[in-house]
Amino acid sequence: MSVIDIENLHKRYGGTAAVADVSLQVERGEIFGIIGRNGAGKTTLVECVAGLRRPDGGTIGVLGLDPGRDGAELRRRVGVQLQQSALPDRLRVGEAVELYASFYPDPADGDRLLADLGLADRRRTAYAKLSGGQQQRLSIALALIGRPEIAILDELTTGLDPHARRDTWRLIQGIRDRGVTVVLVTHFMDEAERLCDRIAVLDAGRVVALDTPAGLAARAGGTLEDAFVALTGREARP
């Protein structure tokens, strides 16, 4: 059963067609990857799904809701971690988690989440005093605190060291095992290969391939990265 249903989505910024006629479905319980070069339209696509941007054309259904109309319910049921999510500098980690938890009727255990993300000893640290990787991990915690049915994670592990990346992968696999659907925007082929059940390859605002990591690699007769380069290279563009 699909939990995200996108039909003929279009979004322009002035003369730039950031998303140009995207249709895809995300199934309940899968980890769905979105990969593409810089500027391919990945963030714009997930921002439309999260109700943060209004599309110019097409339709989006998320858990049967319309992100443009049902924003309040969508925010209760969909967790979002975006690339640039800044918090007030002086807000402490523990306060941020408590604040976000207060938005939801049945939040997750904040202490447990912070421990899972290696932030247990940072509860009293102000946001501005965290390292880039710690800020990133806090933004993941805040996306998951409301026990979302869908988690949208944009550049999940950018800026994390190899240990933190692996811990984060385990966390994501853990929430998927509990039935949460995950939409993952990533530039890392190893991450996409290891975590994703299916991947959409976006190029210049269009889906140029949608398959399992193994299926994409097999089509290119090599690795997922070979498939990515072949599908999004200059020569592959119309």
Ligand X SMILES: Nc1ncnc2c1ncn2[C@@H]1O[C@H](COP(=O)(O)OP(=O)(O)OP(=O)(O)O)[C@@H](O)[C@H]1O
For residue 72, report the phi and psi dihedrals to the nearest 5 degrees.
-65, -45
Please return the burial class of 101, using the count of CB atoms within 10 Å of its CB with bins 0-12, 13-18 and 19+: middle
40 vs 196 by CB, closer to ligand X: 40
Q: Which residue, 172 or 185, is less far from ligand X as judged by CB? A: 185
Angle at the Cα of 140 from the Cα atoms of 87 and 149, rounded to 5 degrees: 120
- CA 110, CA 101: separation in Å to the nearest integer? 8
3-class DSSP assignment, residue 16: strand
Residue with smaller CB distance to ligand X, 12 or 92: 12
Residue placing its CB nearer to ligand X in the complex, 15 or 105: 15
> Shortest gap between Cβ of 19 and ligand X (angstroms)?
7
Q: How far is the CB of 13 from ligand X (least distance, A)?
A: 3
Cβ 185 to ligand X shortest distance, Å:
7
CB of 66 to ligand X, least distance (A): 21
Residues near ligand X (CB under 6 A): 13, 16, 18, 36, 38-44
Nearer to ligand X, 108 or 151 (CB): 151
For the chain, the maximum distance between any two Cα atoms, rounded to a whole number of angstroms, is 53
Single out the residue of 65, 67, 4 nearest to residue 32, CA to CA: 4
Could you tell me which residues are beta bridge partners of residue 89?
none
Angstrom CA distances, 158 to 88, 98, 171, 173, stand at 21, 25, 16, 17
Question: Is-contact 78 124, C-beta < 8 A?
Answer: no
R_g of the chain, CA atoms, integer Å: 18
How do 2-13 and 57-62 pair as beta strands?
Answer: antiparallel
Please report how close the Cβ of residue 202 comes to ligand X at its closest, in angstroms.
Answer: 7
CB of 224 to ligand X, least distance (A): 17
Question: 114 vs 202, which CB is nearer to ligand X?
Answer: 202
